Amino acid sequence: MMRKTFFSASLAAASLVAGLTACNNDKLTSVNANPNAPEKVQSSSLFTNATIGALSTIRGTSFEHGLSGLWDQHYAEIQYAEADLNQPRNATTEGLWNSFYAGPLQDYRQILTQSATQPEIAGPTLVMRAFVAQTMTDLWGDIPFSEAGQGSANFTPKYDTQAAVYDSIFASLSAAATMMSGVPAARIEIEPRYDVTDPVYGQGPDVKTGALQSAAWIRLANSLHARAAMRISMKDQAKATAELTKALSGPVLRSNADNAAVIWPGGVVSNPLCLNWQDSPACGGTRDDQRISERFVDTLKVTGDPLLAKYAEPTLSSEDPKTPCDTVAYRGFPNGHSSADVLNPCSAKGLNYGFADYSRPTLNIRLEGSPSYIMTYSELLFIEAEAAERGMYAGTPAQLYTAAITASMQQWGVDAADIAAYLAQPNVVYKGGAQGLKQIAYEKWVSLFNLETEAYAEYRRLDFPVLTPGPEAVTNTIPTRLPYPDIENSLNATNLTAAKGAQGNTDITGKVWWDVP
């Protein structure tokens, strides 16, 4: 069971302001202090704010149900089809870029500056900064990193190569695991308007505790280290093997109880997907423009995968007791179409279900308290299974593959009998060798639903399953990276030009450093 986290309803609006302090007329030296903009914000408040901001962006609708989610073909766009036609809006990519640099990266840098000697806060900060950095570099390739997050001290940070960013990720995660080793669950003084300091492994509503759970963060640090190692394995298997060995020699995620996620408390601090969807209760969203991809739905139907019912809602037409259109319970929307070009099957029969005849993601994915995942136990098992098959890890590939599928299905509440029946299918039983690696890649693609930046990265790394753009897409291949936002041409042109020159093709058909042919 996931550890539940609670937050004050004021968190989303708090930004960097840790709280209000009244003016003390007896202390004339404080007369020039602005109580609403303190010169130093507590590291604990910065950590909470940065982590919430990071997950709001990475697991928000732009990445989950658009961009990454479209390009790994878990989702399809039914109304605003630009990204699904491989024409992402600059405003979208620019907004995502800015949200990282003006938020989490700046906050984490400040924490590491002012709390470097506190392993109980510096350790989790290094872990989360590495997670954010990997997400960004996997999408954009070379990025400003070592000089980023300094605010007005440096408006034109240099671009670090993706190889250098990965070296920093490995170093940060190793340092985090080491510094937190032996540190007990630490009580951190927290700002009263926040309920907990730790939004990932926080221990309930007791604001006096403010505990950061060091053991849990060590497991996450090592597991993210393993993820990063496997990500570069096609580019540099020797280095990947060394880093993977280092990661797996320490404590890692042990079960679904260790899954790392923010579980949102609701209200104004709700799951960002809930805040987007108009039919999600209590969130007040205004949009209803994404559906599960036809490619994804039809693929899961072939194997009778019980996860389909956990991921996709039945169509309204199939559930209408009065005038059912047909008996198709789950129908995906095709990628790469403008909505006007797809003939709704029920409309063809004179019924007006419109886009309701295509499956939405299930409501439990987008409720106000639904978790936003950083990493899951099943992903770690798939990493170990692939590593074992490729000779990078001393494990049994078939056992790890089966355990990974089982953990993924258990995470989503699939019945044990349905799990056993699925695993017993001849086309699911592990074959080993090159075929086994394809099986791992496919099942990992299925299991990473709702972790779309990771699913998109793994699709590009493994080139499996085989995905093709829809008929109206402007490119004949799936996009393989995000373009740099136009704002960088205005504010950091010299460094951007150098980075583009070093990488070669940096449009959406170019490849990042680790993505080898």
34-43: pLDDT as tens digits? 555 556 788 8
SS3 46: helix
In this structure, of 98-112, 267-281, 293-307, the range with the lowest mean pLDDT score is 267-281
**What is the C-alpha separation between 149 and 127, in angstroms, rounded?**
16
CB 467 within 8 A of CB 478: yes
Which is higher by pLDDT, 54 or 118?
A: 54
Band of the pLDDT at 68, cuts 50, 70, 90? very high
Least confident segment among 30-44, 284-298, 361-375, 488-502: 30-44
Number of residues written out for the chain: 517
State which residues form the domain around 246: 11-20+41-280+367-503
DSSP codes of every residue in 218-276:
HHHHHHHHHHHHHHTTTT-HHHHHHHHHHHHTS----SGGG-EEEE--BTTB--TTTTT
211-249 confidence digits (pLDDT tens):
567 888 999 999 999 999 999 999 999 999 999 999 999
pLDDT of res. 380:
98
Angle between helices 377-389 and 214-231 (to 10 degrees): 40
Q: Work out how many domains the chain is built from and give that number.
A: 1
Chain centroid offset of residue 510 CA:
22
Stated pTM of the model: 0.90
Q: Token pair for residue 76?
A: 């399809």
Whole-angstrom Cα distance, residue 245 to residue 242?
5
Average pLDDT of the segment spanning 426-445: 98
pLDDT value of residue 36: 52
Higher pLDDT, 187 or 408: 408
User: Residue 213: inside a domain, yes or no?
Assistant: yes
Residue 349 in this model has a pLDDT that exceeds 70? no
381 falls in which pLDDT band (50, 70, 90)?
very high
Whether 307 maps to a domain, the answer reads no
Over 60: is that where the pLDDT of 517 sits? yes
276 or 185: which leads in pLDDT:
276
pLDDT at 351: 65
For residue 99, the domain's CATH number is 1.25.40.390
The average pLDDT across 455-472 equals 97
Query: Do the domain assignments include residue 79?
Result: yes
36 assigned to some structural domain = no
**Is 90 exceeded by the pLDDT of residue 133?**
yes
DSSP strands (E only) in 267-328: 290-292
What does 341-380 look like in DSSP terms, one character per residue?
GS--TTGGGT---GGGGSPPBPGGGSSTT-EEEEE-HHHH
Lowest mean pLDDT among 164-168, 180-184, 391-395: 180-184
User: What is the Cα–Cα distance from 487 to 467, expressed in whole angstroms?
Assistant: 31
- Tell me the average pLDDT of the chain: 86
Domain assignment present for residue 511? The answer is: no
8 A C-beta contact, residue 314 and residue 329: yes
- What is the model's pLDDT at position 287? 86
287 part of a folded domain: no
219: in domain = yes
pLDDT value of position 416:
98
CA distances (Å), 502 to each of 156, 191, 506, 511, in order? Answer: 18, 45, 10, 12
Rg over alpha carbons for the chain, rounded to the nearest Å, is 23
CB-based contact 474:87 (threshold 8 Å): yes
Q: How far is CA 308 from the centre of its chain?
A: 20
Residue 327: CA atoms inside 13 Å, Cβ hemisphere, count? Answer: 0
- The verdict on residue 301 lying in a domain is no
Question: What pLDDT does residue 191 have?
Answer: 36
Structure tokens at 253: 């995620």
Q: Are strands 260-263 and 143-144 parallel, antiparallel or unpaired?
A: unpaired
Whether residue 144 contacts residue 498, with contact meaning beta carbons closer than 8 Å, is answered with: no
